[in-house]
């Protein structure tokens, strides 16, 4: 985790990692530090990283393919995904399901917006965030929305009236934790920055909520 400080920590096949190792990610994801305690020493290392993880929907990976899926589907998927704890899922801001690519789609023309254009939008959004938090003093002052917290986050990501109502309704319906609520605000603020919008609105919050992993029975 510390080696990934200010970078990306990529975990492929997330459920295959040791459960104890995955749970050890929880506190560093909140504090940006990792502490190691031994009998005669206690050491803290910087660990402010971006976690990116990938996983199959089930052990065999063919959950949505009736011809290839195993005989235990869909229970196998529930068991496999349950290897990741609820508190761990709660710390993941963006969850995207990626369907299998059909062979015919491989011949389609490239998307209208390429990597260069996306990178330019991301850079512009980061510059907006750097300016937003430039006057914040003290050790650990945020540089991006991901690092903003408390009153600073509530002020910078305050939604308009329509957005506020949507977020309140969603928090109750989806039973968002306090952590999940604030993480949605951060994502919505970043979505607004990417769109060049000064105020977080309903459409930005709707997209941010769409990225949250919803517990079964709360869709």
Q: What is the pLDDT of residue 106?
A: 84
Q: How far apart, in Å, are the Cα atoms of 62 and each of 11, 74, 120, 138?
A: 20, 10, 36, 50
Convert the pLDDT of each residue in 129-161 to its tens digit.
999 999 888 766 888 999 998 899 999 999 999
Q: What is the pLDDT of residue 218?
A: 40
Q: What is the pLDDT of residue 10?
A: 97
Convert the pLDDT of each residue in 9-46 to its tens digit.
999 999 999 999 999 999 999 999 999 888 888 999 99
Q: What is the pLDDT of residue 111?
A: 80
- Reported as a pLDDT band with limits 50, 70 and 90, residue 196 is very high
Q: What is the pLDDT of residue 214?
A: 64
User: Is 91 in contact with 111 (CB distance < 8 Å)?
Assistant: no
Q: Which residues pair with 50 in a beta bridge?
A: 8
Q: What is the pLDDT of residue 217?
A: 40
DSSP symbols for 148-200: --HHHHHHHT-B-HHHHHHHHHHHHHTT--HHHHHHHHHHHHHHHHHTT-SSB
| pLDDT surpasses 90 at 101 | no
172 or 69: whose pLDDT is higher? 172
- Reported as a pLDDT band with limits 50, 70 and 90, residue 165 is very high
Q: What is the pLDDT of residue 206?
A: 97
Q: What is the pLDDT of residue 216?
A: 45
Hey, what are 23's tokens? 């749970």
Q: Which pTM was predicted?
A: 0.86
Convert the pLDDT of each residue in 49-88 to its tens digit.
999 999 998 888 777 777 777 777 788 888 898 899 999 9
Hey, what are 137's tokens? 């003093």
110 or 125: whose pLDDT is higher? 125
Residue with the two structure tokens 């959950």: 63
| pLDDT surpasses 50 at 104 | yes
């Amino acid at each position: 985790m510390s080696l990934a400080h200010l970078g990306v920590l990529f975990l492929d096949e997330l459920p295959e990692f040791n459960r104890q190792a995955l749970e050890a990610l929880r506190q560093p994801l909140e504090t940006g530090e990792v502490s190691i305690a031994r009998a005669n020493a206690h050491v803290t290392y910087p660990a402010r990283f971006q976690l990116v993880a990938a996983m199959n929907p089930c052990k065999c990976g063919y959950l949505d393919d009736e011809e290839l899926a195993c005989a235990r589907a869909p229970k196998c998927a529930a068991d496999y995904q349950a290897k990741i704890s609820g508190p761990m899922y709660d710390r993941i801001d963006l969850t995207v399901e990626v369907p299998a690519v059909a062979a015919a789609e491989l011949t389609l023309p490239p998307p209208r917006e390429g990597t260069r254009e996306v990178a330019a939008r991301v850079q512009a959004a980061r510059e907006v965030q750097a300016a937003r938090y430039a006057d914040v003093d003290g050790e650990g002052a945020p540089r991006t929305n991901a690092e903003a917290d408390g009153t600073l986050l509530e002020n910078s990501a305050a939604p308009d009236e329509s957005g506020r109502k949507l977020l309140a309704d969603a928090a109750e319906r989806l039973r968002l934790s306090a952590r999940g609520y604030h993480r949605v605000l951060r994502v919505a603020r970043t979505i607004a920055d990417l769109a060049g919008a000064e105020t977080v609105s309903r459409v930005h919050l709707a997209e941010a909520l769409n990225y949250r992993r919803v517990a079964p029975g709360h869709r």
